């Protein structure tokens, strides 16, 4: 979801989530509003993605962190 469905102090309700090409998102992961996932990235299962993910990165954890860069997967 890219929204909170309600505003607090008239703040913006939504910001788009952008998911690049050839991205693998593991089961039960949460991607917060306004985050961009770069092409070729992998999001580990059960991760909470709070910040942008660069292309070809493996991220995981709560909150997610870069585990490995310059990955390639098929």
Strands of the sheet with 24-25, listed across from one edge: 24-25, 42-43, 57-61, 64-69
Q: What is the pLDDT of residues 2-45, one digit of tens each?
A: 887 777 787 778 889 999 999 999 999 999 999 999 999 999 99
Out of 2, 4, 6, 63, pick the active-site residue: 6
What pLDDT score does 3 carry? 80
6 given a catalytic annotation: yes
Model confidence, pTM: 0.88
Instruction: Give every CB contact of residue 1 below 8 A, 6+ residues apart in sequence.
Output: 17, 33
């Amino acid at each position: 979801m890219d929204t909170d469905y309600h505003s607090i102090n008239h703040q913006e309700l939504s910001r788009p989530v952008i998911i690049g090409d050839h991205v693998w998102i593991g089961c039960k992961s949460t991607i917060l509003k306004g985050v961009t996932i770069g092409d070729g990235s992998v999001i580990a299962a059960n991760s909470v993605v709070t910040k942008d993910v660069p292309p070809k990165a493996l991220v995981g954890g709560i909150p997610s962190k870069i585990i490995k860069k310059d990955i390639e997967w098929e």
